[in-house]
A and B are shown apart, each in its own frame.
Chain A
Amino acid sequence: MTRFYPYGLACISLLLASGFYLYVWPLMPYVFIELQTWQRELTHSISQLLSLAHEYPLKALFYVSAASISYGFLHAIGPGHGKVIMVSYLSTHPTKVKTSLILSISAALLQALVAIVLVSALLFVLETSMREVNARASYLIDASFVAMILLGLHLAWKSIRDFLKQNIKQKANDKAHSHEHDHSHDYGHSQDEHSHSQDHDHSHDHACGCSHKHHASPADIDEAKNLKDYIGIVFSIGVRPCSGALLVLIFAKSLGIYWLGMIGAIAMGVGTGAAISLLAFVSIKGAAWLRRFIKPASQGSQWRELFLRLGAASFICVMGVIMMQGTSLLFSPVL
């Protein structure tokens, strides 16, 4: 029975892909234009609300927060580097839903925080001009793409390392999917994977055989084990300040209501976090659903896993490179 699964899976994927290609893809320009119109209208309302804040502070607070959350959400539906990272990672690395939510929200809030720190430091501490902020923001944006490339390389290296380790281990004891460990030295960790400390990441050169379980259910995944990945993900998403947040802060500063700008920036982060969480949830569930069709722990599945993970890692890398070539100024240089 199980040997029909790959064919069933191929059929379903093919149908889904062709349906997407035929019916959803041609609609993309319209979706994109529609999103842009919304964004424009929200930007306009936010500016108007901010300008009324001196007269009606409480109402402005409420409406600015509401509009900013929507802005953050809609903005995050559009194209962005955060989604590339999240989807690529989560669909190829089983992760707990809760973890993915924490990742999404901390990345989005870090984005808001970076925007606030950047604008505050430049406008209040250094008293530079917005033109300076515009130029500086592009450094952070570039840093984010460099971080993306590094994250991709790290994930690729990790997937190859795990693959080799598992193969060596399998050859050694000829037991597929063994949970036993073949410690050649003592790093102070027990047989139980869950007790691995962060040191794990530094001990890879020693072929200690503390392999990742490629077909572990999300519940089995050790959080600490992937902490480095998580920090990399949150950092590479979060270090790029949300352009909307920068605009709101700069605008609020010019109206003398910087506090409301900060609230707006955080609200945008919340909206962005919600959108990324939603996407993260879909990626995890989709990947889990697909995995049900894959026969566990065969030689072939290891190869498949390796290619999937390498694919995801190189996708993150390539996107980082592509994005770095784009312009990353907030305002057009002609203005």
Chain B
Amino acid sequence: MSSVIKLVFLPLVFGLMSLYAHAHPHAWIDVQTYVDGEDKKVYGINMVWRFDPMTSVYLLEGKNLEKQQKLTSLEEVAKGLVDNLKRDSFFTQVSWNQEVLANLDASLERVTIDGLDVVFSFYLGFDEPLLLDQCELGIQVFDPSYFIEMSWPSANDLQLSDALSSVCQRQVLESEPSMEQISQAWAMPIDASPDLTLGAVFAQQSQIACQ
């Protein structure tokens, strides 16, 4: 009897606890990604992030948005975002040749306001062009702590540059986390393991392959 209890109830209790331990996201970013390159070579990634209205208000708080000041204020917001996101590799995980690229650096950062939303765009350039004739390129965009949910709303929000799309295809796979994965991820402290974090469990996966 006790083994039955262990078998049935322990995973239940464990699972429930891990569910409760987790703070779900209250901020959302709609991501658009343009992959820059030509002829099976990828130079960098252009990102356009659209924040939800409530988070946008938070980002713009205390900033002077009067006409003369607006541009400098938005530049400040953009700089602040780049500084903070650098530690988290811009929530962008680029895998190429069985490696995850480290030390991504952003340039051309820009913040605009579109209606209620803050739109943040920047360019992630690679040190050397990534060659895709031997291997695929994988891109994932997620906040590991899952404070913010980030996604490409549709597969069209990941675009290849014209010069790339003639020879390469892209694919966006939705996340399908299993209960085990979720409990496992939630049972872990947020910064415990770089391989399995809550945000990663829910992240979409994209693949770019060239013939």
Contacts and interface: CB of A to CB of B under 8 A. Distances in A.
A319 interface: yes
Contact of A25 (B15, B21, B26): B15
A2 interface: no
Interface in A305-331: 318-319, 322-323, 325-331
B179 A29 contact: yes
B53 A243 contact: no
A14 B20 contact: no
Interface residues of B, number: 46
B116 A318 contact: no
B43 interface: no
Given A17-B12, A43-B54, A250-B58, A330 B26 contact: yes
A84 B20 CA distance: 8
Interface stretch (A75-83, A189-197, A275-283): A75-83
Interface of B: 1, 4, 8-9, 11-12, 15, 17, 19-28, 52-55, 57-62, 81, 84-85, 87-88, 116, 143, 145, 147-149, 177-179, 182, 189-190, 202
Interface of A: 10, 14, 17-18, 20-21, 25-26, 28-29, 32-33, 36, 39-40, 43-44, 47-48, 51, 78-81, 84, 129-131, 134, 243-244, 247-248, 250-251, 254, 318-319, 322-323, 325-335
16 contacts: A14-B8, A21-B8, A25-B12, A29-B178, A32-B19, A40-B28, A51-B116, A130-B57, A130-B58, A254-B57, A319-B21, A327-B145, A331-B58, A331-B147, A332-B27, A332-B148
B61 A47 contact: no
Secondary structure at the B interface, as helix, strand, loop or mixed, is mixed
Nearest to A27: B179
Contacts of B62: 129-130
Secondary structure at the A interface, as helix, strand, loop or mixed, is helix
A47 B21 contact: no
Contacts of B21: 319, 322-323, 325-326
A42 B145 CA distance: 23
Contacts of A129: 61-62
B61 A51 contact: no
Given A14-B4, A26-B179, A334-B84, 9 more contacts: A20-B12, A25-B179, A47-B54, A79-B22, A247-B54, A251-B57, A322-B20, A323-B20, A329-B147
B40 to A, nearest CB: 34
Given A80-B20, A250-B58, A47 B149 contact: no
Contacts of A134: 58
What are the 8 A-B residue pairs with the smallest beta carbon separation, nearest first?
Answer: A332-B147, A47-B53, A334-B84, A254-B57, A79-B19, A322-B21, A79-B20, A130-B61
Contacts of B23: 326-328
A65 B146 CA distance: 28
Contacts of A14: 4, 8
Nearest to A75: B24
Contacts of A84: 20
Contact of B190 (A79, A244, A327): A327
Given A251-B57, A322-B21, A47 B116 contact: yes
Contacts of A18: 8
A142 to B, nearest CB: 13
B85 A334 contact: yes
A247 B26 CA distance: 9
A244 to B, nearest CB: 8
